[in-house]
């Protein structure tokens, strides 16, 4: 059993507040065992180094599945833009972004396997592609920046430094995608 007072401490209830809150009840209690320390026996303590199985962990897995679907959709999206682009420079830049998105999908799949021991199964999220390339670049700059914010939240939620390092590289790539698309808008 997980003692009540430990829950209270973890929920941010201070020892002083706890003391005041319990004062009236304690006044009436005369049994000696009421004065025993509230610390649970060591066998009942949760191991401090163990990640807690929780809603947060489930949430991270959902975020990773969403990222896999997004990355796959993005790779297909940039493949279409590469095809639409007129100049070789544009094609090279867009194709470079497409290859990065493919690499990201693989990395997220690896992260998912590391965390669950299972293969990720997701449906591809296909993105609509308009006829005007400049409109697509404009829209994509903001989508890349939103992706950066999404991955930063994931970075904070993850505990493993190895996985954080993998995610850090992806975040850097997404920031560079936003910069490259901004450059394409100036040409």
Token reading at 165: 């390092």
Per the CB < 8 A criterion, the answer to whether 144 and 104 are in contact is: no
Shortest separation between residue 127's beta carbon and Fe ion, angstroms: 12
Shortest separation between residue 154's beta carbon and Fe ion, angstroms: 12
By beta-carbon proximity to Fe ion, the closer residue of 60 and 105 is 105
Q: Where are the beta strands (DSSP E) in the chain?
A: none
By beta-carbon proximity to Fe ion, the closer residue of 8 and 125 is 125
By beta-carbon proximity to Fe ion, the closer residue of 104 and 109 is 104
- Interatomic CA distance for residues 44 and 56, integer angstroms: 23
Q: What angle do CA 136, 64, 12 make, to 5 degrees?
A: 120
Shortest separation between residue 70's beta carbon and Fe ion, angstroms: 7
- Interatomic CA distance for residues 17 and 6, integer angstroms: 14
- Interatomic CA distance for residues 152 and 146, integer angstroms: 10
Shortest separation between residue 180's beta carbon and Fe ion, angstroms: 9
Residue showing tokens 């007129």: 86
By CB under 5 A, name the binding residues for Fe ion.
71, 101, 104, 144, 174, 177
Token reading at 178: 């936003």
By beta-carbon proximity to Fe ion, the closer residue of 25 and 106 is 106
By beta-carbon proximity to Fe ion, the closer residue of 2 and 142 is 142
Shortest separation between residue 52's beta carbon and Fe ion, angstroms: 29
* Nearest to 121, CA basis, from 172, 167, 68, 71: 68
């Amino acid at each position: 059993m997980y003692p009540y007072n430990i829950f209270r401490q973890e929920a941010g209830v201070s020892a002083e507040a706890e003391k005041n809150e319990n004062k009236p009840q304690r006044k009436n209690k005369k049994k000696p065992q009421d004065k025993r320390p509230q610390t649970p026996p060591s066998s009942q303590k949760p191991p401090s180094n163990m990640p807690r199985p929780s809603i947060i962990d489930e949430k991270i897995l959902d975020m990773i599945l969403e990222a896999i679907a997004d990355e796959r959709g993005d790779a297909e999206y940039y493949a279409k833009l590469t095809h639409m682009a007129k100049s070789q420079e544009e094609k090279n830049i867009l194709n470079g972004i497409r290859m990065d998105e493919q690499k990201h999908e693989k990395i997220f799949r690896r992260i998912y396997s590391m965390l669950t021991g299972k293969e990720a199964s997701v449906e591809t999220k296909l993105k609509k592609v308009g006829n005007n390339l400049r409109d697509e670049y404009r829209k994509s700059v903001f989508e890349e920046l939103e992706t950066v914010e999404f991955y930063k939240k994931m970075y904070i939620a993850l505990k493993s430094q190895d996985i954080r390092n993998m995610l850090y590289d992806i975040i850097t790539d997404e920031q560079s995608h936003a910069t490259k698309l901004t450059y394409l808008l100036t040409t």
